[in-house]
Amino acid sequence: MAEEPISENLTGSRKRPHSPSEHCIENSQDGKEKRNIDERTSKDYYFDSYAHHAIHEEMLKDEIRTRTYQSAILDNPHIFRDKIVLDVGCGTAVLAMFAVQAGAKHCYAIDCSSIIDQAKLIVQKNGFSESITLIKGKVEEIELPVDSVDIVVSEWMGYFLLYESMLDTVIFARDKWLIKDGIIFPDKAIMYISALEDAAVKRDRIDFWNDVYGFDMTPIKQIALCEPVVDVVDAKAIVTDAVPIVELDILTCRKEDASFASDFVLCAQRNDFINGFCAHFECAFTQIHKPIGFSTSPFSNYTHW
């Protein structure tokens, strides 16, 4: 029996909010006065955590993530040439700028976080002001100046793929604006599960509560057993194969598909203990000539997930 569910990757220096479109401090429609960046307080950053540059620095420095998007876009100029693109949850607008570099006629980039104020300056400094329109607000509430778009790009994935992800927002944008037979980057996502042995983690995070300065704190141990951990997993700790538990086609999936139950069977690859489960995901860009993607597997290169 697994004693601690452990999901693969980086410890939580960054916790993703539900979505940039769900955490908006400023909204011109409700008359709130725009805050100057120098006037921001810790409370502002708490409710608008995507406003802090460190989150975007971490994502941009994730070369597996960023260069995969860059290659998928720039290596396929025939897909983007003269097309209208929508960037959902644009952050620093790096994907929007890639799209314009690839030949997009215009890109509409939406984000509710205050980082969009810096994104406007970035777009201007890099000479894209005429071809990128940045819109601040919730995707579900704003209106585009066009009736439809040809391509939707978004880095919507959360920890455990779906935890605090923007999938709902991408689906909304897809259904409202994407043309028939339009393109979504990325368009496929698969989540896998495997089992691991990690006695050190079990000792440090679970057994720790047995004796804390001489006190029995095992009631917290029961909580710790039920909570997933976001952490880096050594590939050598994996003791079984990895099997898919959910597959999403972003072109056709529904909001309800993000709530799922999955039966699975794992095959042991060595005689060992099992201390927990490890989840990782893969995303793919399959609507291009040479499909590419990336994985957050313990057997793959590090990502910020």
Q: Is 57 a catalytic residue?
A: no
Q: For residues 243 and 190, what is the distance between their CA atoms, to the nearest angstrom?
A: 10
Which of 142, 97, 141, 90 is closest to 111 using CA atoms? 90
What does the DSSP 8-state code read for residue 37? G
- Three-class DSSP category at 42: helix
For residue 217, the one-letter residue type is M
Determine how β-strand 84-88 pairs with β-strand 243-249.
unpaired
Helix (H) or strand (E) holding 174: helix 167-177
Considering the candidates 164, 197, 247, 256, report the single residue annotated as catalytic.
164
In angstroms, how far is the first alpha carbon of the chain from the final one?
26
Question: With contact defined as beta carbons under 8 Å apart, do 110 and 120 qualify?
Answer: no
Q: For residues 42 and 176, what is the distance between their CA atoms, to the nearest angstrom?
A: 35
Considering the candidates 4, 26, 155, 282, report the single residue annotated as catalytic.
155
Q: Is 8 a catalytic residue?
A: no
Catalytic sites, residue numbers: 155, 164
